[in-house]
Amino acid sequence: MKKAISIFVSVVLFLTAFPFSVSAADDMAISITPDITDAVYSYLNEVYVEKYPALALDFSFGSCSDRRVLQKLADMLTKDCKTDEEKAIAVVSWADRNINYKSYVDTTYYFPIDVFAHRTGNCLGLGLFISQVLRLAGVPGVFCAGTRGDMKDHIRLSDREIDHGWVMIYYNNTWNLFDPLFDVFGTDDREFISRWYFTDHIEGVSPHYEGMPYEYVFYGDCIFYIDGRFIHYKDGMPASEYWGNAAEGGSALNGSVPYFTKNRYDSGNGGGDGFYHIDDPDRKKSMINDECYSGGWINYGDMVGYYTKENGIIAGCTVKEYNGEKLFLPYGSTPLRLHGDADEYTLTWGAPTFILGEEIIAPEPLWVESEIANGRVITYESITPEIATVSETGKITALQEGYVSVMVSSRDSYDDPGNYCGGFIEIYVAAEKREYDYSDKLIVEATEIKVMDDTNFAARENTTVEAVKNSLLGAVITDEKGNVPEEDAVIGSGWTVTLPGGMSVVAVIPGDLDSDGGVSSADARLTLRASVGLENNPNEWFTKAGDIEKDEGGAKLSAADARTILRGSVGLENRNLWYDAIGQTVNTGH
């Protein structure tokens, strides 16, 4: 009899607006969020700090090449940081300034390398990017998902939606919540967190506490950490008891980022799940039903099945080494062997990427080798023929850029309708090779600050040091003489703002040429003297601050500029309009 081995998991849960459909009391979420928050901290401390500290530093999504790219960014952003807190602020602030937000309904990105390449992501993409870059900088970062809102006065348990993601970062011996989309930059205030955050999902595992109402956490179907075991529960009971047979576990956020599990199951009458730990087959005897396989490679029969992390989650959309060979672990299915140098592959949307026009040999499931040895043939069929075709030998011919899906099967002959093994291979065909931009684009939202170019930013008159620091997290500000001013000091033209990662920009306050942050007759006098060569200040900011009229021929100072500044100093000109006329404030869509 031909064996049927499924190597593709199709169960998907979306991190999106998806209301609970449970019959429950119309209680406010604050009735359980304090317990949820305490459970989050207990879980993070026990699992990521005490038991499995390497898990909090694991590069979870991406290839070896992707890791090198993001490692370079992590090193650049944190090179001058002395503490983990400084590193956290440096990475989060860079992401906040440089990653444009787009919701899941638009074309957006989730995997860290895609978010970096396109400078675009939603809360899932931004959170994964921050956590993974921090891990490469040696700082534990964990992505969490759930609900953000007022748990006391607005969010109800009966109709709550899972619609947001954020990051917990470990430094100063505690976990600190960062959510730049809502201007939360590091808090461990559990009262605040309980009021505004309901955590359903900590990298595939849900928080648990004794007596919790299971039905309100992650749709009542999730992996919990109970008494040192990662266990799949459904509506408050072990999933196999609920369904009456073996149950797959886990979820896929936004249908793209996998957090799947393989669970222990023994029916009691000889039936079982078929998996075992490769390095310790007897370990299965100590597991209980619905407990997730964890901490290494597992086999299905004689076939290498999956790599399971210490928290029971199957590694996916990444590369892991097995017996000295680097294998690609796809979304929800068994490992693939990559042709050529596995270190040089990059991933797009979590799939191995090839360039349009180059020869493409389909990645190979590990079972192909043994099936050929058993005298069987391997067949290939393109599920996306409009993007690419595939030959009988697995050679892919790309027709255009896009996501390619190929079904691969083991058969007795090419015309045999049945198959022994089968699954899907997915790759991405790109129009051209990626080039990565490591610069700091200085995207800001505040009304007091506006980007001018790579070296200067404009600020409104009377903008304080504190206001700029609130908009540019982690910034160090010095005045025109190199001194560090007080928080309530007013920023003047020529003051320097140094961002985490080393980028420096100089302030320009329209009409302020003497660097005191205001506009007076003294500024008009400096402008007039400079226009006739009696004042020589070679700094670019000086000319930009005085060039109010913006005559044709580039930035320069004139008597007309001096007259306008003088009128502005006595209220005969609207000085706010000078600031408004500078470029356009960048809208990040937050």
pLDDT in tens, 262-300: 999 988 776 688 899 998 989 999 999 999 999 999 998
User: Higher model confidence: residue 410 or residue 17?
Assistant: 410
Please report the pLDDT score of residue 105 as a whole number.
60
Is residue 261 within 8 Å of residue 312, measured between CB atoms?
A: yes
**Which of 22-26, 68-72, 75-79, 125-129 has the weakest average pLDDT?**
22-26
Q: Is the pLDDT of residue 254 over 80?
A: yes
d(CA 572, CA 391): 77
Please report the pLDDT score of residue 23 as a whole number.
40
Please report the pLDDT score of residue 314 as a whole number.
94
Structure confidence at residue 26 as a pLDDT band (50, 70, 90): low
Please report the pLDDT score of residue 567 as a whole number.
94
Please report the pLDDT score of residue 587 as a whole number.
30
d(CA 494, CA 513): 8
Please report the pLDDT score of residue 9 as a whole number.
30
Please report the pLDDT score of residue 159 as a whole number.
86
Structure confidence at residue 553 as a pLDDT band (50, 70, 90): low
User: Higher model confidence: residue 563 or residue 254?
Assistant: 563
Please report the pLDDT score of residue 224 as a whole number.
94
Structure confidence at residue 80 as a pLDDT band (50, 70, 90): confident
Task: Kindly report, residue by residue over 441-467, the tens digit of the pLDDT.
Answer: 765 555 567 778 878 889 888 889 988
| DSSP string for 408-437 | EEEESSTT-S--SEEEEEEEEEESS-----
What lies within 8 Å, CB to CB, of 406 at 6+ separation is 362, 380, 381, 382, 383, 388, 390, 394, 396, 424, 425, 426, 427
| Residue that the structure tokens 């309009």 belong to | 577
Please report the pLDDT score of residue 4 as a whole number.
30
Q: Is the pLDDT of residue 379 over 80?
A: yes
Percent of the chain scoring above 90 in pLDDT:
62
Structure token digits, residue 284 = 């299965």
Please report the pLDDT score of residue 235 as a whole number.
87
Please report the pLDDT score of residue 496 as a whole number.
94
How close are the terminal C-alpha atoms of the chain, in Å?
57
Please report the pLDDT score of residue 184 as a whole number.
93
Q: What is the number of other CB atoms lying within 10 angstroms of the CB of residue 570?
A: 11
Task: Kindly report, residue by residue over 14-24, the tens digit of the pLDDT.
Answer: 344 334 444 44
Please report the pLDDT score of residue 345 as a whole number.
92
Taking alpha carbons only, the member of 350, 348, 347, 345 closest to residue 333 is: 350
Amino acid at 345: Y
Structure confidence at residue 244 as a pLDDT band (50, 70, 90): confident
Structure confidence at residue 65 as a pLDDT band (50, 70, 90): very high
Structure token digits, residue 78 = 């944190």
Is residue 113 within 8 Å of residue 346, measured between CB atoms?
A: yes
Is residue 228 within 8 Å of residue 203, measured between CB atoms?
A: no
**Which of 78-82, 447-451, 475-479, 490-494 has the weakest average pLDDT?**
447-451
**Which of 30-39, 95-104, 441-450, 563-572 has the weakest average pLDDT?**
441-450
Instruction: Say yes or no: do domains 325-430 and 449-580 share a fold.
Output: no
Mean pLDDT value of segment 228-234: 94
Structure confidence at residue 13 as a pLDDT band (50, 70, 90): very low
Please report the pLDDT score of residue 503 as a whole number.
77
What lies within 8 Å, CB to CB, of 382 at 6+ separation is 388, 389, 390, 396, 404, 405, 406
Task: Kindly report, residue by residue over 130-177, the tens digit of the pLDDT.
Answer: 999 999 999 999 999 999 999 999 999 988 988 899 999 999 999 999
Please report the pLDDT score of residue 127 as a whole number.
97
Angle at 448 (CA atoms; ends 442, 451), nearest 5 degrees: 30
Q: Does domain 325-430 have CATH number 2.60.40.1080?
A: yes
Computed over every residue of the chain, the mean pLDDT equals 87
Q: Is the pLDDT of residue 586 over 70?
A: no
Domains of the chain, by residue range, sit at 13-260, 325-430, 449-580
Superfamily classification of domain 449-580: Dockerin domain (1.10.1330.10)
Mean pLDDT value of segment 523-534: 94
Structure confidence at residue 104 as a pLDDT band (50, 70, 90): low
Mean pLDDT value of segment 44-51: 98
